[in-house]
Amino acid sequence: MNKPFPIRIRTFVVPLAGVALYYYVQFVALSLCALIYHEENTSMLLSRYFGSFSIIESAIMAVCLFAWFFTMRKTTWQTVRRDNLRAAHLLTMIPIALAMLGIVNLYMIGIQFLSGHSLIIKDLLDEYTRSASIGSGTRGLETAGYYIGVGIFIPVIEELLFRGIILGEFLSTMKADIAVILTALIFGIMHMQPVQIVYAIACGLILGYVYLYSNSIFLSILIHILFNLLGGILPAIFANNLSALNILGFIEIVFILAGVFCILYLRKSYRNKMIREG
């Protein structure tokens, strides 16, 4: 008979607390930026100082997560998987990150096609385009802050929260597939923007299985960083070169197959390890 998974209140409290903390920190960071730059219009504030906002948000969230892990070091910290990465695992980083971008590209192609046949989808796509271009108005140090914050700090924070804390809690109380799917749903819905939710769920599924199969938060962090950096920096570099952007998008779509093979490799390695350890 299979051993039943424990049912406990913290399995419901942990994800709720994690998401609430994430939004609260965003509110605090936004309030601090408004105070520092004397700008009450949220849209104007984020368009000009998104770099500062992302850095402040990451710093506050890092302090909160440190306090969480330190306070719960005998429970939550123990659920975070931190195996050392093998060289073979590191080689999967780029293909999986590019595959995630390829999935996003295919999804956006589909949304753009549907927007020509539905006013609702067109309005949602226009809203997404506006929200996605918030950081494009930054200049100088703000641009550097944007890439450092969004490209490096925020992926680390999100992986520690969603894969480390929330998925870690779910894995200790339910079957792995259900845990990964639930975490991906929370991760996707947390983004709130309707167009973004769908591909965020897909990326959450991939990062969840990477975390599960590699048994390490480090690999999911590295892949998330690559995804954000490649998805933000490369389009900015080739913003005025439509041909280069199309070639880049095609390459990312081609890498979907390579990403699938990498996930399957991680899965096989994980299962072999489980067999060896009995």
* Domain extents in the chain: 10-276
Residue range 194-245, pLDDT digits in tens: 999 999 999 999 999 999 999 999 999 999 999 999 988 777 777 778 888 8
Which string of DSSP letters, residue by residue, matches 136-163? Answer: GG--THHHHHHHHIIIIIHHHHHIIIII
d(CA 182, CA 186): 6
Report the pLDDT averaged over residues 19-41.
94
d(CA 200, CA 138): 24
Considering only the C-alpha atoms of the chain, give the largest distance between any 2 of them, rounded to a whole number of Å.
63
Residue 243: the pLDDT is 87
pLDDT band at residue 1 using 50, 70 and 90 as cut-offs: very low
What's the mean per-residue pLDDT of the chain?
Answer: 91
What is the token pair recorded at 234? 């490369």
Q: What percent of the chain has pLDDT over 90?
A: 66
Residue range 71-120, pLDDT digits in tens: 988 888 888 899 888 899 999 999 999 999 999 999 999 999 999 999 99
Residue 167: the pLDDT is 96
pLDDT band at residue 148 using 50, 70 and 90 as cut-offs: very high
Q: Which among 174, 214, 159 has a CA at the least distance from the CA of 18?
A: 159
pLDDT band at residue 170 using 50, 70 and 90 as cut-offs: very high
Angstrom distances, CA of residue 146 to CA of 58, 95, 108, 215: 11, 24, 23, 30
Q: Which among 89, 59, 27 has a CA at the least distance from the CA of 157?
A: 59
d(CA 258, CA 99): 7
Phi-psi region of 38 (alpha: psi -120 to 50; beta: other; left: phi over 0): left
d(CA 180, CA 121): 28
d(CA 163, CA 259): 19
Residue 233: the pLDDT is 78
Report the pLDDT averaged over residues 143-155.
91
Residues 6+ away with beta carbon under 8 Å from 50: 134, 135, 137, 138, 142, 145, 146, 150
Single-letter amino acid code for the residue at 11: T
Which residue's entry shows tokens 């779910």? 170
Report the pLDDT averaged over residues 258-268.
97
d(CA 175, CA 110): 33
